[in-house]
Amino acid sequence: MKVANRAHVPPFAVMEILAAANARKAAGENILNLCAGEPSTGASEVVRQRAIDLLTSGDLGYTEALGAPALRSAIAQHYRDQYDVSLDARRIAVTTGSSGGFVLAFLAAFDVGDRVALAVPGYPAYANILAALGCEVVIVPCGPETRYQPTVAQLEALDPPVEGLVVASPANPTGTMIDPDELAALAAWCGTHGVRLISDEIYHGITYGSEETATAAHYLDSGAVVVNSFSKYWAMTGWRLGWLVLPDDLVSVVDALAGNVALCPPALAQHAGVAAFSPDGYAAARQNVERYAVARDHLLARLPELGWSRVAPADGAFYLYGDISASGLDSITWCARLLDEAGVALTPGTDFDPVDGASWVRLSFASSVDVVREAVDRIVAWQRTL
């Protein structure tokens, strides 16, 4: 029996490293896991308590395909409060994580053969999902000269032109952000040229310094789509809960697709997720960001010890993306040896950049400050042995 050509996408290497690290930890080894973008705190107490209440007395049957009305309304209110964007809740589609959101958005927006531009380095699942759906992925190499983000000039140089553009701010793995004026320019260019803009905003709220976080929700009338999630800011990774903010022309399309693909997102997560938008839910999320900031400051202070030749500006998210080529090892070998010899799990840059990723690694500082501190101690000591 044949296996579909569309199924032959590369595995997400971070998941393989996570499995290897977990196996070693289960065997009794002292492993520090900084490879996955997963907050170590988990969901806030207010969300957990709401889930407990629902499990004992709640209705956990199917919700509407686009999500429970109460949650869609809470998300719309979030945009009014946080971004001063007035949204009709009908534009909100609750999804099974942002991953489910990307599948629905890509299915709704792109046909087989459509060309979709992606910044590299970037999250690998964008390209892999698009490829599985028969789209042509157009890589836009982005380095420090553009702060690892695509520009209008780069898009104008693409020949033949593209039907779509995926951006992320703050970005994975670099942590860099698109400033409001640049996002406005990208959205205007996309609207003028009939290019569908998909904006990954799952790290919104996790920023450092005074930079303003811009949302593409301002540009829905130009056809933009926003993807967001409860996984990062609200530390609800395993709850598999995300959302889309949709332009009018995609609302009914995504509704039909969602009903056929999954019927609805997990009901328990949806009903409990409403509590994330409570004062206690926001407060817990802000406390997490304060903790990430301390870990980030520790990392930046110890960059001279790490000796990584280049590091992307970690303006947001919870990653440090660094160039380890001075070690003389490629990033896959470097990460494998670091895990074997020092008990620290990091992710090779090949997951995020098929061209130059062999020189880079990603460190997630979403764990506790003590774990990050010990991990840096181990990395510094191990590198001296190379």
Percent of the chain with pLDDT over 70: 99
pLDDT number for residue 213? 85
Backbone angles phi, psi at 85, to 5 degrees: -110, 120
Residue given tokens 């042995």 in the structure block = 385
Average pLDDT over residues 97-108: 98
Backbone angles phi, psi at 190, to 5 degrees: -65, -45
Q: Both tokens of residue 162? A: 């593209």
> Would you place residue 351 in the very low, low, confident or very high pLDDT band (cuts 50, 70, 90)?
confident
21-48 burial, b if ≥16 CB within 10 A, otherwise e? beebeeeeeebbbbbbbbbebbbbebbe
Of how many residues is the chain composed?
A: 386
CA angle, residues 7, 225, 6, in degrees to nearest 5: 10
Please give the distance of CA 287 from its chain centroid, rounded to a whole number.
20
pLDDT number for residue 25? 87
Q: Evaluate if residue 1 carries a pLDDT over 80.
A: yes
Residue given tokens 């020189």 in the structure block = 359
pLDDT number for residue 92? 98
Average pLDDT over residues 100-124: 98
Q: What is the C-alpha to C-alpha distance for residues 366 and 345, in angstroms, rounded to an integer?
A: 13
pLDDT number for residue 212? 75
Q: Evaluate if residue 226 carries a pLDDT over 80.
A: yes
Q: What is the C-alpha to C-alpha distance for residues 30 and 33, in angstroms, rounded to an integer?
A: 10
Higher pLDDT, 386 or 88: 88
Q: Evaluate if residue 9 carries a pLDDT over 90.
A: no
Average pLDDT over residues 313-339: 95
* Element of type H or E holding 137: strand 136-141
Average pLDDT over residues 182-199: 98
> Would you place residue 36 in the very low, low, confident or very high pLDDT band (cuts 50, 70, 90)?
confident
pLDDT number for residue 10? 84
Q: Provide the whole-model pTM.
A: 0.95
Backbone angles phi, psi at 139, to 5 degrees: -80, 130
**If you ran DSSP here, which 8-state letter would residue 368 be given?**
-
CA separation, residue 248 to residues 73, 87, 301 (Å): 17, 11, 47
Q: What is the C-alpha to C-alpha distance for residues 195 and 183, in angstroms, rounded to an integer?
A: 14
pLDDT number for residue 65? 98
* Percent composition of the chain: helix, strand, coil (DSSP 3-state, to 5): 50, 15, 35
Average pLDDT over residues 158-172: 97
Domains and their CATH numbers in the chain: 5-43+281-383 (3.90.1150.10), 60-278 (3.40.640.10)
A 10 A CB-CB count for 84 gives 9
Q: Evaluate if residue 168 carries a pLDDT over 80.
A: yes
The residues near 315 (Cβ < 8 Å, ≥ 6 apart) are 170, 175, 176, 177, 207, 208, 209, 211
Dihedral sign, CA of 84, 239, 335, 26?
positive
Percent of the chain with pLDDT over 90: 90
Q: Evaluate if residue 296 carries a pLDDT over 80.
A: yes
DSSP 289-351: HHHHHHHHHHHHHTHHHHT-S-B----BTTEEEEE-GGGSS-HHHHHHHHHHHH-EE-EEGGG
> Would you place residue 12 in the very low, low, confident or very high pLDDT band (cuts 50, 70, 90)?
confident
Instruction: Average the pLDDT over each of 25-39, 151-165, 191-205, 368-382 and give the range with the smallest value.
Output: 25-39
User: pLDDT, tens digit, for every residue of 178-190?
Assistant: 999 999 999 999 9
User: pLDDT, tens digit, for every residue of 271-281?
Assistant: 999 999 999 99
Q: Evaluate if residue 210 carries a pLDDT over 80.
A: no
Task: Examine residue 247 and say whether the peptide bond preceding it is cis (omega within 30 degrees of 0).
Answer: no
User: pLDDT, tens digit, for every residue of 231-266?
Assistant: 999 999 999 999 999 999 999 999 999 999 999 999
Q: Both tokens of residue 385? A: 């042995």
DSSP 243-294: EEE--HHHHHHHHHHHHHHTSSS-HHHHHHHGGGGSHHHHHHHHHHHHHHHH
Q: Evaluate if residue 211 carries a pLDDT over 80.
A: no
